[in-house]
Chain A
Amino acid sequence: GDSVTQMEGPVTLSEEAFLTINCTYTATGYPSLFWYVQYPGEGLQLLLKATKADDKGSNKGFEATYRKETTSFHLEKGSVQVSDSAVYFCAPDTGRRALTFGSGTRLQVQP
């Protein structure tokens, strides 16, 4: 079945630091790949997505590239802000059924 491995948190960074959150997955076929974000007290929101190999998803300064050869979809941001503090979830979607979520990575950005 589908599975996701995310780097464990919490990740604690200072404002303006560079962020990488690793994500690797196993899935049947060629899934679409998603990063969702959950801000404190709020519901899950789609952050970005990529639907085929070598696609780069981007939003709010975050980027992730669909790497089929390494089955990875690492999330990056060049300069984090305090407002980026949240839990980030990686999820492949084969389109057959629902999303398979990783366990989430909590990001804490300190001023």
Chain B
Amino acid sequence: DTGVSQNPRHKITKRGQNVTFRCDPISEHNRLYWYRQTLGQGPEFLTYFQNEAQLEKSRLLSDRFSAERPKGSFSTLEIQRTEQGDSAMYLCASSLNVDEQFFGPGTRLTVL
């Protein structure tokens, strides 16, 4: 399967803990995006990378959130000191330049 993959698929954590998610994009895609989706809503943009450069961050991305794409391939999204409001589905997508974005299955985070 050469699609976008995300790990883990589900994460349950206690408030105050740190969590890290991983996204592996389609191999030739230079753009990688992170979105957050809460129940009954559409995905909301968090941040995106072109190769290893993080080009834009949403105001939704507080200083507890950090994303990296160190070699321009896979990316990680870390949330420090999780809060219950962080519970959501975290989606990763990739694209070749400004073409169609391909989405991964998402990581569902539950903060207790």
Binding site for B on A (CB under 8 A): 4, 32, 34, 36, 42-46, 49, 89, 91, 93, 95, 97-104
Contact = CB atoms under 8 A, between A and B. Distances in A.
A103 B42 CA distance: 4
Interface of B: 33, 35, 40-45, 48, 55-56, 91, 93, 98, 100-106
Contact of B40 (A4, A101, A103): A103
Contacts of B105: 42-43
B53 to A, nearest CB: 13
Given A103-B40, A103-B42, A43 B106 contact: yes
Nearest to A102: B42
B48 A98 contact: yes
Contact of A101 (B44, B48, B98): B44
Contacts, number: 50
Contact of A43 (B33, B41, B103): B103
A97 B45 contact: yes
A103 B41 contact: yes
Contacts of A44: 43, 91, 93, 103
24 contacts: A32-B98, A34-B100, A43-B91, A43-B106, A44-B43, A46-B100, A49-B100, A91-B42, A93-B98, A97-B48, A97-B56, A98-B45, A99-B33, A99-B43, A99-B45, A99-B101, A100-B45, A101-B35, A101-B43, A103-B40, A103-B41, A104-B40, A104-B41, A104-B42
A37 to B, nearest CB: 11
A46 B100 CA distance: 8
A98 B104 contact: no
Given A91-B42, A99-B45, 8 more contacts: A4-B42, A34-B100, A36-B103, A42-B105, A44-B43, A97-B56, A98-B101, A102-B42
